[in-house]
Structure 1
């Protein structure tokens, strides 16, 4: 990992090809951490290349500039990019020759195309959520027990990610590069720029997509063929994995997306769906002792409350009871709660 001290020297030596294999690995890992880091290294390489191609490069006292830069780097870390930026501006002032600018631009483009995209996987533990910013600045909020896989660089005509679980997407608009969310059971959602929620766990018999703004195409499987359903804002698509059928209905956006804001919002919501939401949020499994209990429905809002408190609310409101099932002979990943 790069430390605050010595960053400027290592980046310049890296751009000039004077680093060891170990140093190269350190810089490349640092580049992969953010788009800002990557662009900074490319800018340093561009100017170094131009300097090597010119006869005036000797006019630039790099040692003096690096010494000044090193002293400034001892300040706040937030100033490090600004400091290196000032060094690059001084170098650019000397190297401002049309021919050299052309060479520098070619070098920059070559560096861009030579970068190898890396696959990134983000997982959330049961009961946890996470926010992820993608390479195109789109934002994804992952719900509990979910996995998002994407490339560190979106190259080509599409921006594709893989989702297993539930996530809320706020996609940056790009008319030329469609955004595609690949989900289990041969389903996917394709957009250009919009906000939507996808609930697609591998072990679920249903894939749900709720559109908040914009327009999306929901793709699904039917008799071995891929079909697409175009959705409008305020609609919810429910795909039955076993029957291969899709039901399009009006969505309650607050109910479908409240989880991303740390709330649980139910409005005349079927009890089975209520417990499904609780299961995702708190990492537990509910088992119905009586199927007839699924016919109940509830309305209410819960904000940062313990599971036991919520279950007690249901007990007082409906008489439905809950009990934790303990089994010393079976090692379970999730706590099982019986509903009776």
Structure 2
């Protein structure tokens, strides 16, 4: 797309540009940061576009077909009355009335569109790529650290009389502030797990392989909608609760929370950790295809730490720690005995 030819209105209408301004998508944010720095000649148009969007909080219009149909039905009823009173003819004043009403309906629809576009709650979406993390400040000043290959969604406007709510797919660390109006804070995942937060810090992992919650501080109530696990679980600091989507039972145990949140500090900590668990990390966090020469290797265990922001150093460290051979070719990793 030729962004150099864009006007301020073009930028304001561009979805990718909106994602950058409102920080809804990490890839778009990075693209526009680079593009703007390389094209200072578009500074004036960019500034005008920012002013437009900041004033109106743009989002996608959502005028329903029902609204449109109802408006046209009302207009047609008035037009039919006019025809009856004029004996089937359409005098000039009714023509003016028709066009005047049509214009009024159009104006009302336009106002509805503008309201939906500029003032209705917008769903903010943050997405991180493999090997990428992001820090997000929510409308209530709670902070979320989003791990790699993860998505966080929430409405940009949080009213004082409504509960706070976010949706997570992937992994994130939450530091939730207490609400002055005692609003509840909920974290939703796609597998029917609802976390009710009571002023706390915790780590949530929602991957295809498992759902895991580790509580650092405070208190959490887990509501599990699985018919076989239809119960509430009150978690205390230092506890882990984990279950698989297909499982009818869950694991609950005391752990060292630092082991599960060290990724925030760009390192991975292991404590008697199976290679099987490390393989999952390589797949879910770095998007690697992992081939293991023999299943018995997955039972090997290791304790220690490794950097998480440099995949080559991580693989070298894992190779030495486990006493195995790890060969990486782009997105493919092969693990075998030395």
CA distance 1:301–1:161, shift in 2 (3 Å): same
TM-score scaled by length of structure 2: 0.62
Partner of 1:184: 190
Residue equivalent to 2:335:
339
Does the 8 Å contact 2:158/2:164 carry over to 1?
A: yes
1:272-323 superposed Cα distances (whole Å, 9 cap, x missing partner) = 2223334444332323231111111111122366323332333334431222
Residue 250 of structure 1: which of 251, 254, 262 is its match? 254
CA deviation after TM superposition for structure 1 residue 188, in Å = 1.9
Does residue 163 of the first structure (1) align with residue 159 of the second (2)?
no
Equivalent of residue 241 in structure 2, options 216, 237, 240: 237
- Tell me which of 203, 208, 214 is aligned to 1:197: 203
> What is the TM-score with the length of structure 1 in the denominator?
0.62
Q: Distance in 1 between matches of 2:123 and 2:158?
A: 11
C-alpha change, 1:266 and 1:160, in structure 2 (3 Å) is: same
- 8 Å contact from structure 2 (residues 178, 199) kept in 1: yes
- Structure 2: distance between partners of 1:305 and 1:161: 27
| 2:53 equivalent in structure 1 | 29
Aligned residue number for residue 212 of structure 1:
216
Q: Is the 8 A contact 1:211 1:236 kept in 2?
A: yes
Change (3 A) 1:29 1:178: same
Identify if the C-alpha distance between structure 1 residues 28 and 239 changes in structure 2 by more than 3 Å, giving closer, same or farther.
Answer: farther
Which of 118, 126, 136 is the matching residue for 2:130?
Answer: 126
Output the CA distance in 2 between the equivalents of 1:305 and 1:168: 17
Q: Which residue is equivalent to 1:313? A: 317
Aligned CA-pair RMSD: 2.8
- What's 1:274 paired with? 278
Describe the SS at the equivalent of 2:333: strand
- Deviation per CA, 1:52-91, whole angstroms, max 9, x where unpaired? xxxxxxxxxxxxxxxxxxxxxxxxxxxxxxxxxxxxxxxx
* Cα distance, 1:325 vs structure 2: 5.6
Alignment CA distance shift 1:278-1:300 (3 Å):
farther
Q: How many residues get paired? A: 231
Change (3 A) 1:323 1:227: same
SS in structure 1 at match of 2:250: strand
Gaps of 5+ in 2: 1-7, 10-46, 58-117
